[in-house]
Amino acid sequence: MNILFYIPHTDIVKEKQRLYRVVEMAGAKAKTEIFRNVPDLSRRLSKPAETATIAVVLISDRGDLNDFVSIRHLLSDIPFILILPHRDNRTTSIGFNLAPRFLTYADTDLREVGAVLEKMIKNYSDRVV
């Protein structure tokens, strides 16, 4: 099982630290790869996966979200959790169009992300992409 963790260089340090701990605890037995920018993640998603892969994506701002829209075809076969920076209707709409398995916001209780990630790991760990 691989967890691809997209956590950009942003000013939301507190949320990044909380989220990293949640992902680390939920995916303790999984191989976790951290990506700080969309081009690096895009290159990784372009490679064939040898084991099941799940992504956790923390969006920092609208520009970051637009970058993800441009690589959504690479995410079509990968279950992922999307964490948006705010509850703006336009941002939420774009986020839902990316078709994540779970969508939440950076200001919410990120333990939900851990619970969802644990369930996803359980459901997808036996599958090979």
- What is the domain-level CATH number for residue 21? 3.40.50.2300
Query: Which of 4, 15, 3 is closest to 61 using CA atoms?
Result: 15
- Per-residue confidence (pLDDT) for residue 30, from 0 to 100: 77
d(CA 13, CA 69): 24
**118 in a structural domain:** yes
**45 in a structural domain:** yes
- Per-residue confidence (pLDDT) for residue 129, from 0 to 100: 45
- Dihedral angle, C-alpha 94, 44, 10, 56, nearest 10 °: 60
- Per-residue confidence (pLDDT) for residue 88, from 0 to 100: 92
**What average pLDDT does range 103-115 have in this prediction?**
88
Give the chain's mean pLDDT: 85
Is pTM beyond 0.85 here?
Answer: yes
Q: Is the pLDDT of residue 27 over 70?
A: no
Domain housing 7? 2-30+37-124
- Per-residue confidence (pLDDT) for residue 114, from 0 to 100: 86
**69 in a structural domain:** yes
Q: Is the pLDDT of residue 33 over 70?
A: yes
CB atoms within 10 A of CB 56: 28
Count up the domains in the chain and report the number: 1
**129 in a structural domain:** no
**85 in a structural domain:** yes
